[in-house]
Amino acid sequence: MSTNEKKIILKPSHKSLLWWYLLAVLLIPVFGIGIYLLYRFYTTHQSISYIITDHRITLKDSSVTENIDLASIVETGVFRGLNEKITGTGNVVIKTKARTATLIGQEEPGQLAELIRRAAEAERRRIEEKPEKKEKAASQNPGTLDKRDYLTGLWQQGLLSDEDFKKEMKHFQ
């Protein structure tokens, strides 16, 4: 990643777990199960992050990291269940030819999906417009440097006279 590359880090909104938090609070009197559930929901949610750069999206959780190149994205969408509609959050679904990834619990998921779709289109255009790198034509024939090194070695060892060395080196200029 280059130093001037833009980077956005997103985390799931805690609003998306509203019903799970309420359930955990209700279960606190039952042998402390609710406290354990609150801890698990919070730590799991904190371990999830999404890093969006100019060229890729990185999905991270506590055990897995996935990279999706923007140019490979073919479709974006939004999934909003009843909980998400109530809390104003949603899941952004990203589809490539090979897989589908979901950015869970995002606020303003419609806008985020549209931004990712536009960024993917821009990345594909950038790649298509990128000029092909042409190989530099060799300024000398292949093997010329090897021959020069060989002659220089003979001259340094005294096996070739100064006159013969200069005469042979004129062929390489």
- Tell me the residue length of the chain: 173
- Check residues 19 and 129 and name the one with the higher pLDDT: 129
Is residue 135 a part of any domain in this protein? Answer: no
Judge whether 112 and 50 are in contact, CB under 8 Å: no
Q: 60 with 116, same domain? A: yes
**134 — pLDDT class (breaks 50, 70, 90):** low
Number of domains in the chain: 2
Whether residue 151 is found in the same domain as residue 101 = no
Q: Are residues 27 and 52 in the same domain?
A: yes
Mean pLDDT of the 98-121 span: 91
pLDDT at 50: 92
pLDDT at 138 over 80: no
State whether 91 and 27 are in the same domain: yes
Q: Are 51 and 111 in a shared domain?
A: yes
Q: 18 or 142: which carries more pLDDT confidence? A: 18
pLDDT band at 152 (very low <50, low <70, confident <90, very high): confident
pLDDT at 137 over 60: no
Q: Tell me, what amino acid is at 47?
A: S
> Does position 108 have pLDDT exceeding 70, yes or no?
yes
How open is the CA angle 6-106-127, to the nearest 5 degrees?
35
pLDDT for residue 35 is more than 60:
yes
- pLDDT at 144 exceeding the cut of 90: no
Q: Which two tokens stand for residue 140?
A: 């000398």
Same domain, residue pair 155 and 94:
no
Residues 90 and 151 in one domain: no
The owner of tokens 């090979």 is 98
What residues make up the domain containing 112? 7-129
Report how far apart, in Å, the C-alpha atoms of 19 and of each of 6, 14, 81, 145 are: 35, 10, 12, 74
Query: Same domain for 70 and 14?
Result: yes
Domain CATH for 83: 2.30.29.30
Whether residue 23 is found in the same domain as residue 101: yes
Does the pLDDT value for residue 1 go beyond 60? no
* DSSP designation for 115: H
60 occurs within a structural domain? yes
Q: What is the mean pLDDT of residues 146-165?
A: 84
CB-based contacts of 24: which residues, under 8 Å, 6+ apart?
34, 35, 37, 38, 41
The answer to whether residue 137 sits within a structural domain is: no
Count of alpha carbons within 13 angstroms of residue 8, beta-carbon side = 10
Whether 120 and 147 share a structural domain: no
pLDDT over 80 (residue 19)? no
Q: Is the pLDDT of residue 164 over 80?
A: yes
Tokens of 19: 């019903």
Q: Based on the fold, state whether residues 171 and 94 are members of the same structural domain.
A: no
- pTM for the model: 0.64
Q: Does residue 77 form part of some domain? A: yes
In a domain, residue 153? The reply is: yes
Asked whether residue 83 falls in the same domain as residue 148, the answer is no
Mean pLDDT across 54-79: 90
Q: Residue 35: inside a domain, yes or no?
A: yes
The answer to whether residue 73 sits within a structural domain is: yes
